[in-house]
Amino acid sequence: MIALVSTLFLSCSKNSNNGSPTGPGTPTTFINNSAGSTWSYHETNSSTGTPVESDYTVTSTNSDTTIQGKAFHVYSYSFGGFQYLNQSSTDYYQYDSIPGISSSFVRLFLKTNLDPGQTWDQNINVTVPNTSTTIPVVLANKIADKNSRTVNGINYQNVIHVQTTILAAPLPAGALQSAIDTYYAQGVGLIESSIVISINYLTIVENVNIHTTLASANLK
């Protein structure tokens, strides 16, 4: 269950705009939607205890699509599949689903107009695998800080650090634990993420521990 939830936080934050025109690669936004721009990431997956290293690339396509009245830009993954991302003024969205758990929904993953310490929540419903039980889940987000950050030897300015916690009130205390940190650099997008999630509920025992960093970017 939670391993699938974690896929929502492994996206690249290069969003198409919707609303105020900003143009491809405008450095005052946290996006770059120019076709052909690429972001190469290195991932360390320690979910099973033994770290597994892998690399993948995200590429901005020349396609857009409209979902729930928002214009989403399409990005492709080198390992297959697509990502749909949007910027609406100072709000950034991702369209995604949790396979086998939830239908697709629009997730608000970044609000650049908030100050450090300010928060926003999003409510979704998920179905426990192999059951008909649906539980409400809250994605609780907070702007942890706005600062610079060095990733793989590159110092990025104007970085927003978002902390996200997954809350599920119906579950017993301690059954679900999460610590999710994502870092977005102005004009670049996602430069680093750390996802630690564990669940021990009924017959479901899952752990996620994934650290992702931007190795290089070729922005058009």
- 3-state SS of 175-202 is CEEEEEEEEEECCCEEEEEEEEEEEEEC
Mean of pLDDT over the chain: 83
pLDDT in tens, 127-180: 666 667 778 889 999 999 999 999 999 999 999 999 999 888 888 888 888 899
CATH of the domain at 208: 2.40.360
Query: What stretches of 27-113 adopt beta strand conformation (E)?
Result: 38-45, 52-67, 70-77, 82-88, 91-98, 102-111
What is the distance between the alpha carbons of residues 83 and 14, in angstroms, rounded to a whole number?
10
Report whether 208 contacts 198 (CB < 8 A). yes
Q: Is residue 119 over pLDDT 80?
A: yes
Distant-in-sequence, close-in-space partners of 55: CB < 8 Å, separation ≥ 6: 40, 41, 42, 43, 215
What is the distance between the alpha carbons of residues 102 and 125, in angstroms, rounded to a whole number?
7
Structural domain count, the chain: 1
**Percent of the chain at pLDDT above 90?**
55
3-state secondary structure at position 43: strand
pLDDT in tens, 180-192: 999 999 999 999 9
- Would you state the pLDDT for residue 15? 34
Taken as a whole, the chain contains a residue count of 220
pLDDT band at 25 (very low <50, low <70, confident <90, very high): very low
Domain range for 95: 2-218
